[in-house]
Structure 1
Amino acid sequence: MLTVGDKFPEFDLAAVPGGPEGLKGDFVQISDKTDAGKWKLVFFWPKDFTFVCPTEIVAFGKLAGEFKDRDTVVYGVSIDSEFVHLNWRLHHEDLKGLQIPMLADIKRELSTALGVLSPAAGVANRATFLVDPEGIIRHVSVNDLSVGRNPQEVLRILDALQSDELCPCNWKQGEAFLKP
């Protein structure tokens, strides 16, 4: 699995755009070059039309504005196609207002390149990557398929990384940094 300090792999995936545009059925291509020069949060969920996944996707979507305020784009990814993503958005009440794009890794190329594909389940694990503007992975976490993430914690980690300071345990934006 790729980890902190590694270069995030190149990718070019079809996606359902976020916001109202995503409900129209017009797909877009999103690549590693899209939103160049910005921080990226790339998170994977195992499959559409499941139970834990929409809770996470909605929670990340609700924080999209806070990530944007930090010059960070949010990409959600699964092994499902863009057509399945669209159908899920259209038929799941909580996903209709989703503000982030849903990327389709149907060939499992990105999840394989990152090393987050579960061989037993054939789907991506619940992996989360924070990638800096130079394309370097600065944070990675992976949860078991049955356990959802805490998007607020990902935002806290992003704040700490962007501070370029030494941040103690449980540090939050606005608190004092450590002085060596």
Structure 2
Amino acid sequence: MSVSLINTEIKPFKATAYHNGKFVPVSEADLKGKWSVVFFYPADFTFVCPTELGDLADEYAALKDMGVEVYSVSTDTHFTHKAWHDASETIRKIRYPMIGDPTGAITRNFGVMIEEEGLALRGTFVINPEGVIKVCEIHDLGIGRDAKELKRKIQAAQYVASHPGEVCPAKWTPGEKTLAPSLDLVGKI
């Protein structure tokens, strides 16, 4: 049985990340006060993972311009993240923190642990500045994600947060028309 994490506050955690050539402490407090993405992936030195993390690295500057920080997480250690960063041209592009979760505590907090394997599913969580999860997307291991679509979802979440009473329809992008749910709209869309 699955329980939705939407509109729940992130649970406390403490971890170490590899970030810009250094090992840095990271906790749930670091995710508050700004929009954040927590991007789980199964393991370093694998196949689909570097394509996703590289794609996210390509969109990182645009996400930062939107006031968003990205945190990738796997059950590898922060030492393994550094080794992968040093060994892979694709991973070398990454400028966001790569959190090590060797105990699986963070991965379990977000409900994406594959217990039999000790690995994370591909889970993407968008968290608002109050530390509340607003987007949750979980994929099987063989299905890669698209950073541009993630960016669009964050833009929609930010818009809805700053425009009470409005919602974003399918494929909405900034500048397009939104909806104001009301009795008058029922059955008219």
Q: Structure 1: which 5+ residue stretches go unaligned?
A: none
Whether 1:121 and 2:122 are equivalent positions in the alignment is no
State yes or no: 1:132 paired with 2:134: no
Give me the whole-angstrom Cα distance separating, in 2, the residues matched to 1:177 and 1:14.
Answer: 40
Residue 86 of structure 1 corresponds to 82
Report the 3-state secondary structure (helix = DSSP H, G, I; strand = E; otherwise coil) of the residue aligned with 1:53.
Answer: helix
Whichever residue aligns with residue 175 of structure 2, its letter is: G
Q: How many Å separate the matches in 2 of 1:178 and 1:124? A: 36
Structure 2 runs not aligned, ≥5 long: 161-165, 182-189
Output the TM-score relative to the length of structure 2: 0.88
Which of these two proteins has the greater Rg computed from alpha carbons? 2
Once superposed, what is the RMSD of the aligned Cα atoms?
Answer: 1.2
What percent identity do the matched residue pairs reach?
36
Task: Provide the C-alpha distance between the structure 1 equivalents of 2:92 and 2:113, rounded to a whole number of angstroms.
Answer: 27
Q: Which shifted more, 35-44 or 46-55?
A: 35-44
TM-score normalized with structure 1 length:
0.92
- Structure 1: which 4+ aligned runs deviate by more than 4 Å? none
Name the counterpart of 1:176: 177
Q: CA deviation at 1:119?
A: 2.3
Whether 1:155 aligns to 2:151 is yes
Asked whether the equivalents of residues 31 and 131 of structure 2 are also in contact (C-alpha less than 8 Å), the reply is no
What SS does structure 1 have at the residue aligned with 2:79? helix
Report the Cα distance in structure 2 between the residues aligned to 1:107 and 1:67, rounded to whole angstroms.
Answer: 29
Kindly tell me the number of residue pairs found equivalent between the two proteins.
174
Residue 28 (structure 2) pairs with residue 14 (structure 1):
no
User: What amino acid maps onto 2:65 in structure 1?
Assistant: D
Q: CA deviation at 1:97?
A: 2.3
**Displacement of 1:168 after TM fit?**
0.8
In structure 2, give the amino acid aligned to 1:7. E
